[in-house]
A and B are shown apart, each in its own frame.
Chain A
Amino acid sequence: MSIAPKHIEQPSVLYMDGVSVSFDGFKALNSLSMCIEPGEMRAIIGPNGAGKTTMMDVITGKTQPDCGTVLFNDQHDLTRYDEAAVANLGIGRKFQKPSVIESLTVFENLEMSLRGGRSVWQALRHRLTAEQQDKLDHILALIDMTARLDTFAGNLSHGQKQWLEIGMLLGQQPQLLLIDEPAAGMTDEETMKTAELFKTLAQHHSLMVVEHDMDFIAALECRVTVLHEGSVLAEGSLASVKANDKVIDVYLGR
C-alpha cells in the first residue's frame, strides 16, 4: 500500500522524519528523525524516559504519531498499519519486559512465532511441516534451548525468557528486528553471548537494539544513536558519541 516518494538518495529499511508523539501535552518524541540502512545494526542509548520505547511503539503501529513520516523499505507508511499488519510486513519486536506466553512450552511459543498461517482458519488446520520442524530445531539450537523444549515458558529464568523471545523474533523471519533492552536480567556471560548472537543475526537482518549496558553496546561494534527528550542528540561510532560533551552531560555523566 501507499508508495510514498522520498527525497533521500540512499535506500533504507526504516526511515523516520519529524516524528512527534505527545501524551497529555508531554512530548515523548519531539521531531525525531533517523534512518536505518538495509543490513545495518544500530544501537540506541539514552536516559530513562528519552523516548526509546515510544519510538518502537510508533514503528510497530502501537502508537499513532501526531505528525511525521515513518517508512519501511522506503514504501510502506507504517503509521497506517496496526500491530499485526506491521509484524506481517516483516518487523519483529522484543519488548522491554520479557513477553513470552507463560503457559505454553518453549516449543509451542516458537511454533506459534513461525512465519505464515496467521488466519483463524489456517491456525485451526495447522500441521507442522518438516521444513518448519528444521527451522525450529535451528532456532532452538541458536538460543540454546534444545534441552528445554517442553519446559513451560513461565518456568524459565529471566535471561532465558529474553532468549526465548529473541528466538520467537527469529521464527517470524523479519527483515527488521526491534529489540528493547535485551540484556536486562542477564548475567555478564549471557550478555556477551547475546551480543555475539546479534552480530550473527546482523548478517541477514537489520537490527535496532536499545540498551543501557555500555559493555554490551561496545560489544555490538555498530553505529550508536543517542536519544534525549524525544529527539536525536548525537549519532556516530560509540567512541565519537562517548566523547560528545552533550551526551556526557545528559547521559553518561562526567
Chain B
Amino acid sequence: MPVQATHMGPITRLLTQDKNGRRLLLVIAVLAIVVPFCNLLFPAESVLHISTYTMTLLGKYLCYALLAIAVDLIWGYCGILSLGHGAFFALGGYAMGMYLMRQVGDRGVYGNPELPDFMVFLNWQELPWYWLGFDSFAFSMLMVLLVPGTLAFVFGALAFRSRVSGVYLSIITQAMTYALMLAFFRNDMGFGGNNGLTDFKDILGFDLQSDGTRAGLFIASALALMLGYVISRVITASKLGRVLVAIRDSESRARFLGYRVEHYKLFVFVVSAMLAGVAGALYVPQVGIINPSEFAPIFSIEIIIWVAVGGRGSLYGAVIGAVLVNYAKTWFTGAFAELWLFLLGGLFVLTTLYLPRGVIGLWPPLQQRWHRYRQQRDLVHQEDCL
C-alpha cells in the first residue's frame, strides 16, 4: 500500500521500496571504491592490481549506463522511441571537449595561447563567440546541461505540441542527429571538423594521463550514474511516473483524464537529454576525444538495443543491458570487428522475439525454479530422515 512511513525522507522511502535499485547502487558504490583503490594502491605485478586501461573501460561503461537510463526514462516509461539520444550525449561531450581544449592553452602544437590548434590551422584570427566562457569549468558544466536541455526543449516543444509520435517521431529524431553529424563534420562550424576535439592535457589542473585523474573520473562517473539513477527513480516512482506509463499505454486516456500529455513528454525529454549530456561529458575526458561520429544515427540505435536487451521499463535493467552489450562489443570488436553490427542486429531481433522484458525478465522464472528445486530437495531430505 502506498501510504505509510510518512516520517521518512522521500529518497529513503523510495530506496526502501526498491530492492533491485539498492543492490545496483551498492554495486556501483563498491566499484567506485574498489576499482580506484586497486588501481592506485597495488603495484602492477600484484594480482589485485586493476590496470588503468581496465578502469577507463569500466568508466566508459558507467557513462553508457547513465545514457541507457536516460533512454529508458523516455522510451521505457513514456513510450517515446527517441532514435536521436546520441546527439544529446555528443553535445554534452562537445561542451566538455571545448573546456578541455581551452585548458590546453599554449601547449598546443602551434603554441597559440588563445586558439586551439585546429583554428590556427584554419587561419582563424580569433575565438568564435560561442567558444567564449568555455575556459571556465563551471560555465562549461552548465553548458553540459543547458545545450542538450535546450535542444530537447525546442525540439520536443515543436514535436509534442503538434502531436508527432510513434514512427514519425523516431524518424525526425534520427534526422536531428544526422543533421548535427553533418554540421559538426564541417570545418567552418568551429568544432574541429571530422577530427573533433582531442589532444587534451588536463582537467581542473590535473593531468589527464595520470592514474589519479583517471581514478577521479571513474569515481565521478560512478557518482553521476548513482545520482542519475536516483533522479530517474524519484520520477518513475512518483505519480508523475505513473502518468508517463499512462501516456505510454494509452495516450488518449491520459488526455481525457485531464493530463497535458505534451507537458509531460517535454519534461521527461528534457530531463533525459540532460542526463545523456552528463554521460557524454564524463565520457570524453576518459576516452580522450570527441568527434562527430558520436552523432552517427547507428549509435543512437545501439543505445536502444542496450535498453531492449537489459529490459525496457526497468532502470536497473537498462544499466545491465548497457554493460552487457558493451562488454560483448569490446570483446567482439577485438576478435571479429566486421561481424559486430550483424550480431547487434541479431541480438535485437532475438530479444524482441524471445525476451520482451529483456535479460532481467529471465530472473523471476529462474528464481521460482530455484525455490521449487529447493523445496523439493528439502522434501526429499525430510523423507530420507524419516
Contacts and interface: CB of A to CB of B under 8 A. Distances in A.
Contacts of B255: 82-84, 87
Interface string B1-27: 011001000000000000000000000
Interface in B254-301: 255-261, 263-264, 267
B2 A83 contact: no
Contacts of A99: 250, 252-253
Contact of A124 (B239, B249, B250): B239
A3 B88 CA distance: 46
A97 B252 CA distance: 12
B263 A126 contact: no
Nearest to B265: A120
Nearest to A108: B242
Interface in B182-235: 234-235
B246 A112 contact: yes
A161 B98 CA distance: 55
A93 B10 CA distance: 34
B373 to A, nearest CB: 27
Nearest to A171: B257
Contacts of B258: 84, 87-88, 118, 172
Contacts of B260: 84, 118-119
Contact of A123 (B2, B3, B243, B249): B243
A83 B257 CA distance: 8
A112 B234 CA distance: 17
A113 B235 contact: no
Report which residue of A92, A95, A100, A112 has the largest number of chain B beta carbons within 10 angstroms of its beta carbon.
Answer: A112
B245 interface: yes
A20 interface: no
Contacts of A225: none
B256 to A, nearest CB: 5
A163 interface: no
Contacts of A102: 249-250
B239 A133 contact: no
A108 B1 CA distance: 10
Contact of A112 (B235, B252, B257, B267): B257
A120 B267 contact: yes
Contact of B257 (A62, A126, A168): A168
B249 A101 contact: yes
Interface residues of B, number: 26
Given A99-B253, A102-B249, A124 B259 contact: no
Contacts of B252: 62, 83, 95, 99
A218 interface: no
Contact of A128 (B2, B240, B256): B2
A107 B245 contact: no
A165 to B, nearest CB: 8
A123 B250 contact: no
A113 B257 contact: yes
B264 to A, nearest CB: 6
A1 to B, nearest CB: 16
A84 B247 CA distance: 13
A82 B255 CA distance: 9
A74 interface: no
B238 interface: yes
A114 to B, nearest CB: 9
A168 B250 CA distance: 14
B245 A133 contact: no
Given A83-B255, A112-B257, A124 B240 contact: yes
A126 B267 contact: no
Interface string A148-166: 0000000000000000000
A123 B264 CA distance: 10
Nearest to A116: B258
B239 A126 contact: yes
A82 B256 CA distance: 9
Contacts of A60: 256
A93 B257 CA distance: 8
Report which residue of A100, A103, A125, A128 has the largest number of chain B beta carbons within 10 angstroms of its beta carbon.
Answer: A103
A104 interface: yes
A123 B239 contact: yes
Given A84-B258, A112-B243, A124-B235, A101 B253 contact: yes
17 contacts: A82-B255, A83-B255, A84-B258, A84-B260, A84-B261, A87-B258, A99-B252, A99-B253, A101-B253, A102-B249, A104-B245, A119-B263, A120-B267, A124-B238, A124-B240, A126-B239, A168-B257
Interface of A: 60, 62, 82-84, 87-88, 92-93, 95, 99-104, 107-108, 111-113, 117-120, 123-128, 133, 168, 172
Given A99-B253, A123-B264, 7 more contacts: A87-B255, A100-B250, A100-B253, A123-B238, A123-B240, A124-B240, A126-B238
List 9 A-B pairs, minimum CB-CB distance, nearest first.
Answer: A87-B258, A126-B239, A123-B240, A83-B255, A88-B258, A124-B240, A101-B246, A99-B253, A123-B239
Interface of B: 2-3, 6, 234-235, 238-240, 242-243, 245-246, 249-250, 252-253, 255-261, 263-264, 267
